[in-house]
Amino acid sequence: MSRKPCLKIEDVKSLLEQSSFSKLLATQGLTNAASAFGVSERSLRRRLHDLGTDPRQVITGYRNGTLVTMLLADVPCGVISAELGFKAPCTLSRFARKQFGHSPKLLRGLLKTTAHLEAAGLSKKVKTSF
């Protein structure tokens, strides 16, 4: 039985800085991400733990950032859902409500309002609810 190469903490730090790794993890899962980098799933999980994180945190961070970016860019929810690795748009709605307390549609409106306020220099005067 051949052993897979050892994954160093520095390598994982470098991977975490790349959005492509987070996207791969979010859309393909831990097993496929580990395989793509030539290591075992357990080794990848262990190194992430050594850095104080886990696959779930990496996936959630990627999905939160990408969701906000894509909502601001007026990308349709079906496209966002696929990009985030969800099998159905209703899963995107549940995710948005869990993470931000609002549906994607309402969150898009809130984000755009906040962006307009920031552009006008008024963001410090108005508090948002998310």
Residue 1, in any domain of the structure:
no
Sequence-ordered list of residues with C-beta below 8 angstroms from that of 8, at least 6 positions apart, any chain = 47
Quick check: is 70 in a domain? yes
At 5, the pLDDT band (50, 70, 90 cuts) reads low
Of 22-31, 50-59, 114-123, minimum mean pLDDT range: 114-123
- Say if 119 falls within a structural domain: yes
| Domain encompassing residue 101 | 57-125
Tokens of 129: 């609810």
First-residue to last-residue Cα distance in the chain: 52
- pLDDT tens string 15-48: 666 668 888 888 888 999 888 888 889 988 988 8
Give the C-alpha distances (Å, rounded to integers) separating 68 from 22, 31, 32, 71, 123.
16, 27, 26, 5, 17
How many whole angstroms separate alpha carbon 79 and alpha carbon 97?
A: 18
Domain co-membership, 119 together with 93: yes
Q: Do 59 and 25 contact (CB within 8 A), yes or no?
A: yes
pTM to 2 decimal places:
0.76
Backbone dihedral angles phi then psi of residue 10, each to the nearest 5 degrees: -60, -35
Is residue 100, in this structure, part of any structural domain at all? yes
Domain count, the chain: 2
Judge if 112 and 61 occupy the same domain.
yes
Same domain for 75 and 19: no
What pLDDT does 4 receive?
Answer: 53
